[in-house]
Structure 1
Amino acid sequence: MRNFLLTSLVALGFFTACNNEIKKEQQVSERDLSITRVNAYNDLFLDTAAVNTFITKEQMEPALANRFRSFYNRRNFQFAWLASDGLTEQARSFWNAVNYKQDSALEDKKLKAEMKDLWSSSTQASASDKDNIRTELLLTKYFMNYMLTNYEQGTVKKKDLESLVPRKKEPVIVLADSFVSKKAVNNEYEAANSSYKLLKDQLALYVGIAKKGGWQLFSVPAGKKFKKNGSDPLIPVIKKHLALTGDMAAGDTTAVFNEPLEAGIKSYQARMGYKPDGVISPAIIKEMNVPVNKRIQQLVINLDRMRWLPDGDNGKLIVTNIPEFKVHVYDGSRQEFEMPVVVGKDGHNTVIFTGTLSQVVFSPYWNVPPSIVKNEILPKMNSDKSYLDQEDMEVVSESGGLPVIRQRPGPKNSLGKVKFLFPNDFNIYFHDTPAKSLFSQDQRAFSHGCIRLSDPVKMANYLLKDDAGWDAAKINAAMNAGKEKTVELKTKIPVLITYYTAWVDAAGKLNFRDDIYGHDAAVAHKMFTNPL
């Protein structure tokens, strides 16, 4: 999975790269008047004067100024990075890449503050807000400089910069064809990004299925069970579906629930994120009844996301893919291990961002967030005066009219015996948990936003394995000491929190997962004229 995650902008650099300078002035692209407020990807538009004023104020050299004008001409001056509901997915992804590389954009304190404010899902944007306009135009400037300075092969083409940020809604199949087409700019991606090509190949397969009529959708009576070695008229329909998706061989049209079907169901379950027990459950029937065009939509959305992941090196890396409910730990191209995780429940979403893991905290206090104090703990304190003592909590101060509460280290602590910090604006980190039973479930979105690890002992031993002062026995003692102790890692490790609902795994299998936070649905309404 690391290759899938880390070749994205490396591959982008393969065909949108330069020799750290703009060698000649570019002609300005014509304005695309076919983009309107009805079919535009975003719903905010700039005044042309704002773009020209910005170019003058920033004292852009002519070649970059022309690229800048071309970028907005091709968009018909539609915003690239902000919409009325705040930052776009592309803006968040690009800013994560900037943070990962510690790019010069981070030196602009005002821009950093504005991005932090906009990152909140409740923050709105406006085409008349001067700060929003400045943020939009600065992001475009940094995007161009980022692409022109971070990749060192070939020549950056104007059309590449213009096409990387979506501009216009298209029908699902039309946009899918543009990804599959030999004429699409994305083909040049494949030489450096095998994972992108694998997913694109699956898109071509699914487009082919759609053009042949798709697969049959079917209903099953509530409570119905399919018995091994039994017969049922729906069995041939299920077998045909599994043959189309490559989970079993074609040609078996019998109505018997035989061993090849059981193996096909297990394969399908694993690709969908379920325990492969071979049972034709209501959940699996529901997955099979997702129309092929919706799967195509899912593939296109995730192919577009692949453009934005930060490029990596050959060192250690920790990746959490939220919809997969897993964390992967890599050393170079080799996966060291993976483990199930619990992520934020709906309304307490785990944020997609990049960070650097720098500290291990044994026997941690849990400093209860003010929102949890207000909404969950205070009502219980009011109804039961002994609640804090029962939960091994204490009030340490007061802030903003609320008590500041923490939970002591110990068996009741919500963070368990250890937490792993990668400092960020969202107060998200990895941690242990006393609620171990949740890891046995297929869908694991239960937390308030932080990421719970199923095997924190393994993570702690891995992170400290090169520190002679921390062997397994000392780690175990610290985890059970009941006294908080913080350890600084000698080697910091990058952390990527990602959101992929479709990808091809190391075994070459196409995986799909549920859109647990609705990110796919939000993008689909921007990207397609006929979202499903």
Structure 2
Amino acid sequence: MAAPLSHSAEYPADVTLVEVINSLMTSNRHPYLPHDDIYDQHEDIQALYQLNRYQFVWLNEDDSNRQVEDVLALLASAEKNGLNAQNYDSDHLARKWLQIKTGQEESPQARALYDTALNIALLRYLSDLHYGQIKTQNVKLADDIILEPINLVRLIVEAAAEKKPSELVARVEPVMPVYRHLKQALSRYRQLAQMHDTPRFAFSRTLRPGDHDPQMEPLRRFLTTLGDMPQPEETDAETQSEATLYDAALVEGVKNFQSRHGLGSDGVIGKKTVAALNVPLADRIWQIELSMERFRWLPRLKEGSLIIVNIPAFQLWAYDSIAEETEPPLNMKVIVGKSINKQTPVFMANMYFLQFRPYWNVPQSIVREELLPKLRRNPSYLAGQNMELVNRFGPNATVLPVNDETMTLLSRGRAKIRQLPGRLNALGSVKFMFPNAYNVYLHDTPTPNLFKRTRRDFSHGCVRVEDPEALAEFVLKSKQGWDRQKIRNAMRRENPKHVSLEKPIPVIMFYTTAMATADQVLFFDDIYNLDNPLLQALSRPLQKKAPDTVTSQAE
């Protein structure tokens, strides 16, 4: 049983309110809330009313009607933020407020119960909006990532005092540009889903520019609705031949659609394009909602540069500013870990330095699974790969001969393999380092042809970048003297060179199947099959009382 609340004699407390709070703390239930279990809100409720001197937060002044209705509107707007307003009992609280406002329930106890119910719902909503609905550690944070503390209790009390509850959302939601764009995309796709049915396309063959098909007109209307092609100009009635023609304007619309959905934008309508066209808009909506949830798992960063690698997108975005988007982010293709057994992990760490002309220190797992069998068959294999056997990694390593004794040491992890800088080096000419528990980093590659593939999960977990020069220029932009030419020279010199950044840059290895920019909404295949488990977790029904059993008095 929770200890009764105490209060200082320095200020008068509302006795009824204190009694109601003590009763709620004892019962762990709130009779005004269908989601009535309030155990998780114990500490916050006690802290909130202590901070407010055990006075009503919202029902304490002549203008309490407006204040309460602003809070109710805030809870009801949870859908705009990709959350379910039913989880915060917004409809039920609105009906209960009508009873109180019209005098059907006007006792001091009823008002105290309502004030506490409103704050419990608000705490739940703001917590989900700031931390996410799934409260486990979903994104591993490096030790040097500092979380900015946020005091939801204080924010609520301040908002009530300032009479600005409507500003609470902006004070707790993620500030990254991509989140703002996703929020806009959610509104737009919901409107599209309400106004338009998703057509079903069933082409009997692969369609190429110049082909004819009776579904060209519905396809044209659908792509226009999505914004992948402009509204057609008013012209004379088309002939039957023109209406069924896969013409140049429609080809461009299909290419835009393909580009936004992670497909090869060749304008050819094949099976993958048809499958993407047939995904219901409702499914696109929950993809956006899942993406917004995942962004809430990240620390609330406010300023400086940011790099996001979106694994299923096979793309990297580098933002000059977290808080403001003064220009489009740097964007490039990447290659990520294999989906079956070498998945790139989800985590966040700070980038501190670049290494030009790096050695590749081969991970023990690759040595054991791939290189040792080849060495046993061919002891000269390392020389052909510009590799060497060493006693340890680092500048003072001793090169060892390849023989039975050293291969035994290698199998036991007491010897290492590294690849020298050069044309064959698996890291290419530069690697971008951000210390993390997975030993994952960004790097160049000697096999750029793989970037031509649409699906690019080929690595052992690290991430290969399409344009290392541009990325190096981005991270070194505040480093005096490091222009594109100097970077290019450093990538071609013989000796390794370590270059520290002026200020660490957060790097997020992220996983989401929906992204958004200022110009477009992007969707991708769920290559690691992580969407459905999250969707099921978010859809799990909460324990709640039936509405007709809700009472009006504390037990």
Structure 1 length normalisation: TM-score? 0.64
Against the structure 1 CA distance between its residues 462 and 236, is the aligned structure 2 distance closer, same or farther, given a 3 Å change threshold? closer
Aligned partners of 1:436 and 1:193: how far apart in 2? 31
The residue type paired with residue 261 of structure 2 is M
Mapped pair 1:380 → 2:374: yes
Q: 1:63 corresponds to which residue?
A: 47
Runs of 5+ unmatched residues, structure 2 = 1-16, 52-116, 122-126, 392-408, 542-555
Aligned length: 414
| Stretch of structure 1 that moved more, 361-370 or 398-407 | 398-407
| Cα-Cα RMSD | 4.7
Aligned residue for 2:312, secondary structure, equals: helix
- Alignment partner of 2:330 out of 315, 318, 337: 337
- 1:205-258 residue CA offsets vs partner (Å, 9 max, x unmatched): 54455556832323334xx23243432123234234324423343799922212
Shift in CA distance, 229/383, structure 1 to aligned 2, threshold 3 Å:
same
Q: Would the aligned equivalents of 2:290 and 2:531 in 1 still touch at CA under 8 Å?
A: yes
Question: In the alignment, residue 519 of structure 1 is paired with which amino acid?
Answer: L
Asked if 1:502 corresponds to 2:514, the answer is: yes
1:370 counterpart = 2:364: yes
**Cα pair 2:479 2:502 within 8 Å, conserved:** yes
Partner of residue 77, structure 2: none
- 1:28-39 to structure 2, matched below 5 A, reads 30=29
State the one-letter code of the partner of 1:280. Answer: I
AA aligned to 2:334 is V
TM-superposition CA deviations, 1:359-401 (whole Å, max 9, x none) = 1112111111111111111222222222222112222234771
Name the structure 2 match of 1:358.
352
Contact kept, 8 Å, 1:99 with 1:354, in 2: the verdict is no
Q: Aligned ranges for residues 88-487 of structure 1 at < 5 Å? A: 90-93=135-138, 96=141, 100-102=145-147, 146-148=150-152, 154-155=158-159, 196=179, 198-207=181-190, 210=193, 214-221=197-204, 224-248=205-229, 249=231, 254-332=243-321, 333=325, 334-335=327-328, 337-346=330-339, 347-397=341-391, 398=409, 401-402=412-413, 403-468=415-480, 470=482, 474-487=486-499
8 Å CA contact 1:314, 1:331 repeated in 2 = no
Q: Distance in 2 between matches of 1:390 and 1:88?
A: 52
Greater shift in the superposed pair: 385-394 or 91-100: 91-100
Equivalent residues of 1:217, 1:291 under 8 A apart: no
| Change beyond 3 A, Cα 1:478–1:302 | closer
Moved more, 346-355 or 521-530: 521-530
Task: Output the TM-score relative to the length of structure 2.
Answer: 0.62
Once residues 99 and 365 of structure 1 are traced to their aligned partners in structure 2, the CA distance between those partners, rounded to angstroms, is 25
Aligned-partner residue type, residue 538 of structure 2: M
Distance of 2:250 and 2:535 partners within structure 1: 34
Counterpart contact for 1:209–1:215, Cα < 8 Å: no
The 8 Å contact of residues 514 and 523 in structure 2, kept in 1 or not, is answered as: yes
1:18-38 Cα deviation digits (max 9, x unpaired)? xxxxxx9994573799889xx
Rg larger for: 2
Match of residue 550 from structure 2: none
Bigger mean CA offset, 242-251 vs 372-381: 242-251
Amino acid at match of 1:327: L
CA contact (8 A) 2:142 2:349 kept: no
The 1:156/1:438 distance shift into structure 2, 3 A limit, reads farther
Equivalent position to 2:533, from 497, 517, 522: 522
- Alpha-carbon distance between aligned partners in 1 of 2:198 and 2:487, rounded to the nearest angstrom: 53
Note the C-alpha offset of 1:422: 0.8
Query: 1:280, 1:481 → 2: CA distance?
Result: 46
- Relative distance call for 1:292 and 1:416 in structure 2 (3 A) is same
**C-alpha spacing 1:497/1:192, structure 2 compared with 1 (3 Å):** closer
Structure 2 contact 173–296 (Cα < 8 Å) conserved = no
Return the alpha-carbon distance in structure 2 between the equivalents of residues 486 and 239 of structure 1. Answer: 53
Distance 2:260 2:468 in 1: 26
Identity of aligned residues (%): 33
Structure 1, residues 401-428: CA drift from partner, whole Å, max 9, x if none?
A: 1342211221111011111101111111
Q: Which AA in structure 1 matches 2:199?
A: Q
> Alpha-carbon deviation of 1:523?
0.5
Letter in 1 for 2:332: M
Cross-structure match for 1:167? none
The alpha carbon displacement at 1:433 in A equals 0.6
Counterpart code for 2:523: F
Aligned-partner Cα distance in 2 for 1:210–1:465: 43
Shift of the 202–491 alpha-carbon distance from structure 1 to 2, 3 Å rule, reads closer
CA contact (8 A) 1:360 1:419 kept: yes
State the 1:455 CA deviation: 1.7
Q: Does the aligned pair in 2 maintain the 1:394–1:408 contact within 8 Å?
A: yes
Return 5+ residue gaps in structure 1 as ranges: 1-23, 37-44, 75-79, 82-86, 104-144, 158-182
Q: Are the counterparts in 2 of residues 190 and 197 from structure 1 also a CA contact under 8 Å? A: no
**Kindly tell me: are residues 243 and 343 of structure 1, through their superposed partners in 2, closer, same or farther at Cα, counting changes over 3 Å?**
same
Larger displacement relative to structure 2 (513-522 or 431-440): 513-522
Aligned counterparts of 1:467 and 1:208: Cα–Cα separation in 2: 46
Q: Deviations over 1:2-52 (max 9, x none)?
A: xxxxxxxxxxxxxxxxxxxxxx9994573799889xxxxxxxx9xx8xx89
Q: Tell me if structure 1 keeps the 8 A contact 2:350–2:506.
A: yes
- The structure-2 alpha-carbon separation of the partners of 1:255 and 1:329, relative to structure 1 and needing over 3 Å to count, comes to same
1:61 CA drift (Å): 10
The alpha-carbon distance between structure 1 residues 213 and 277, as it changes in their structure 2 partners (threshold 3 A), is closer
CA offset digits 1:117-172 (Å, max 9, x no partner): xxxxxxxxxxxxxxxxxxxxxxxxxxxx6444997994599xxxxxxxxxxxxxxx
Amino acid at match of 1:92: Q
Q: Which residue is 1:513 aligned to?
A: 524
Q: How many angstroms apart in 2 are the aligned matches of 1:153 and 1:420?
A: 44
